[in-house]
């Protein structure tokens, strides 16, 4: 029996745990955020005025945008900012992929908000009805996750309207939702997001990780992996010496069943609506 290999493995896990649970420069912003402010409205419309042709080139570059949140006829927030497209697969297959908004930190300070500078937006791939339904279903998963655990992202549903500042394209209107900034999630739960590349599932809080796995099984999602932190954030809570996996990005799940979703190629599944634990 080779006793050196297990000893080396446990030594490595111990070393990684010590790094994970070491003090870090975690944000400790206690001010309300822009997300908190927007969450106080029951029904929001987000109007984004930008160069649509440039945005639809789907480059990983921010471009100028006028960002206007409305509640009925009431203007909730109107400011200049920046926008870019995001998403690996969805940038390839979607006419209008998800986006990320970026705000000026000094402007947020002037409004009395914390300085989480970005908000992720998830909208439907196109104006087709099935694509709109996909986004409703994915948003429902985020809401279900909130019922299972506090270690989950908050979301705000809204309608989004893209206006072309060059007046060359018609307005595009989608159902969408915005996702809480990951640093705000970490602050809310008294922890910080681990940015390192090395990770093993043995480091996770066991019962919370089993709940995480069961949730993924329930929604029929195989599009995640602990080793490279694929579609998960790692939250370390130093005071409790706990490490949690935070799930996100569910468009490949059987619950949503998008037309492009497939099971992971390593699994003996033919469809995302099949389950395997």
The pLDDT score that the predictor gives to residue 4 is 40
pLDDT by 10s per residue, the chain, length 277: 343 444 444 444 454 555 555 554 444 457 899 999 999 998 999 999 999 999 999 888 999 999 999 999 999 999 999 999 998 788 888 899 999 999 999 999 999 999 999 999 999 988 888 899 999 999 999 999 999 999 999 999 999 999 999 999 999 999 999 999 999 999 999 999 999 887 889 999 999 999 999 999 999 999 999 999 999 999 999 888 999 999 999 999 999 999 999 998 899 999 999 998 8
Q: Please state the φ and ψ torsions of residue 231, each to the nearest 5 degrees.
A: 55, 40
Burial class (CB in 10 A: 0-12, 13-18, 19+), 37: middle
Rounded Cα distance, 146 and 140, in Å: 10
What is the reported pLDDT for 210?
96
Cβ(27)–Cβ(182) under 8 Å? no
pLDDT at position 11: 43
Determine the pLDDT at residue 80.
Answer: 96
Plot region of 13 (φ>0 → left; ψ -120 to 50 → alpha; else → beta)? alpha
The pLDDT value recorded for residue 20 is 58
Residues 6+ apart with CB under 8 A from 54: 63
Residue 192 has what pLDDT? 96
Q: What pLDDT, on the 0 to 100 scale, is given for residue 25?
A: 47
Look at residues 37, 35, 39, 101 and name the one whose alpha carbon lies nearest to residue 66: 101
| N-term to C-term CA, the chain | 31
- Look at the alpha carbons of 81, 196, 207, 211 in this order and tell me if their dihedral is positive or negative: positive
Q: What is the DSSP string of 204-248?
A: S-HHHHHHHHHHHHHHT----BTTTTBTEEEEEETTTTEEEEEE-
Would you call 192 helix, strand, or coil by DSSP? Answer: strand
Torsion, Cα of 83, 223, 177, 167 (10° steps): 40
Euclidean distance between CA atoms 15 and 18, whole angstroms: 5
Residue 259, helix vs strand vs coil: coil
């Amino acid at each position: 029996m080779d006793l050196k290999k297990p000893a080396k493995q446990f030594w490595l896990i111990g070393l990684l745990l010590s790094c994970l649970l070491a003090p870090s420069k975690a944000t400790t912003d206690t001010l309300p955020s822009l997300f908190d402010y927007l969450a106080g409205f029951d029904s929001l419309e987000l109007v984004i005025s930008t160069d649509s042709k440039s945005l639809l080139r789907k480059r990983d570059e921010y471009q100028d945008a006028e960002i206007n949140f409305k509640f009925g006829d009431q203007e909730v927030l109107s400011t200049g900012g920046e926008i870019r497209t995001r998403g690996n697969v969805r940038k390839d297959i979607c006419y209008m992929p998800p986006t990320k908004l970026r705000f000026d930190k000094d402007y947020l300070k002037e409004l009395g908000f914390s300085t989480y500078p970005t908000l992720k937006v998830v909208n439907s791939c196109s104006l087709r009805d099935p694509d709109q339904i996909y986004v409703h279903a994915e948003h429902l998963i985020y809401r279900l996750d909130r019922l299972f655990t506090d270690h989950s992202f908050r979301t705000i549903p809204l309608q989004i309207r893209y206006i072309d500042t060059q007046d060359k394209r018609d307005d595009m209107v989608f159902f969408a939702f915005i996702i809480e900034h990951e640093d705000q999630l970490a602050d809310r739960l008294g922890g910080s997001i681990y940015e390192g590349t090395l990770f093993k599932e043995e480091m996770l809080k066991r019962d919370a990780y089993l709940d995480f796995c069961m949730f993924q099984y329930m929604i029929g999602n195989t599009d995640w992996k602990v080793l490279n932190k694929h579609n998960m954030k790692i939250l370390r809570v130093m005071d409790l010496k706990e490490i949690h996996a935070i799930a996100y990005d569910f468009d490949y799940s059987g619950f949503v069943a998008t037309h492009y979703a497939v099971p992971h190629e390593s699994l003996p599944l033919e469809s995302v609506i099949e389950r395997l634990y």
